[in-house]
Amino acid sequence: MDVPQRRELPLTPVGEEPRLRADAVRNRARLLAAAARLADEHGVEQLTMDAVATAAEVGKGTVFRRFGDRIGLLQALLDHVEARFQAGFLEGEPPLGPGAPPRERLHAFGPAALRHDAAHRELYLAAEGKPERRYLTPSIRLRHTHLAMLLRSAGVQTTGGDAELLAHTLLSFVDSALTAHLTSQRGLPLERLETGWADLVDRLLG
C-alpha cells in the first residue's frame, strides 16, 4: 500500500498586498498614527472608522478603501504594534534574537510573546475577527514561520516531528483569548504560563 506523502505547509507569506505608492504609504501611516492615538486615549472599543477619518482629517471612504472594515483597521494597527515584538525575535539580542541556540530561542519566545500580548491584550482580542481570517494575518504567519524555523533548526524533524504543525501547537499556547481567560478569569499568573511554555518546548524537542 502506498504511504501518503507529508505535504509541507507554506512558510512564506502568500497573497501579500501590492507595493504601495509613496503617497499611499504616507496616508496609511497617517491613518495608523491617528488610530493608535485614539486607541491610547479612548480605548480600542471606541475606535471606529468615523473616528479615525475625523482624527486624520480625511473622508471615511479613504479609511474603508485602505483597510476594508474595522477588523481590517484593527489588524493593521496590530501589525504596527507587532513590528516592535518582531524586531526583538528577528534581529534583537539573544536569547530571543539571533546568536543563541534554537532551543534557547524557543524558550525565550514564549515569555516574550506572553508579556508583549498582555501589554496590548485589548487590541489583540478586538482584532481577531473570524478564525479563518485571523490565521492569515501577517503577524501570525510570521510568528508561525519563525517558530517552525526554530523547531527545524533544533532537530524536531529528525525524530519524526512535523515542524509546521508543531509551530501551530506552540502558537495556540500563547493565543490571546486563551491567555486572557487563564490570567483574568482563572487567576493564573503569567509566570505559571511561562513555566508551562518551557515545559511544552522541552516535551516537543525531547
Whether 123 and 192 map to the same domain: the answer is yes
Q: Where are the alpha helices (DSSP H) in 120-184?
A: 121-126, 131-134, 138-153, 163-173, 176-180
Which domain CATH number covers 28? 1.10.10
44 belongs to a structural domain: yes
> 38, 68, 98: which is the final residue of a domain?
68
155 and 101 in a single domain? The answer is: yes
Which residue from 12, 39, 13, 17 is spatially nearest to 28, judged by alpha carbons? 17
110 within some domain? yes
Q: For the chain, how many structural domains are there in total? A: 2
State pLDDT tens for residues 100-137.
999 999 999 999 999 999 999 999 888 876 676 777 78
Considering the domain architecture, whether residues 38 and 114 belong to the same structural domain is answered as no
Q: Is 172's pLDDT higher than 80?
A: yes
Say yes or no: 64 and 82 in one domain.
no
Do 103 and 196 lie in a common domain? Answer: yes
For residues 33 and 89, state if they share a domain: no
Q: State whether 117 and 138 are in the same domain.
A: yes
Is residue 116 assigned to a domain? Answer: yes
Structural domain harbouring 163:
69-205
44, 122 Cβ separation under 8 angstroms: yes
pTM over 0.85: no
67-71, 86-90, 154-158: which is most confident: 86-90
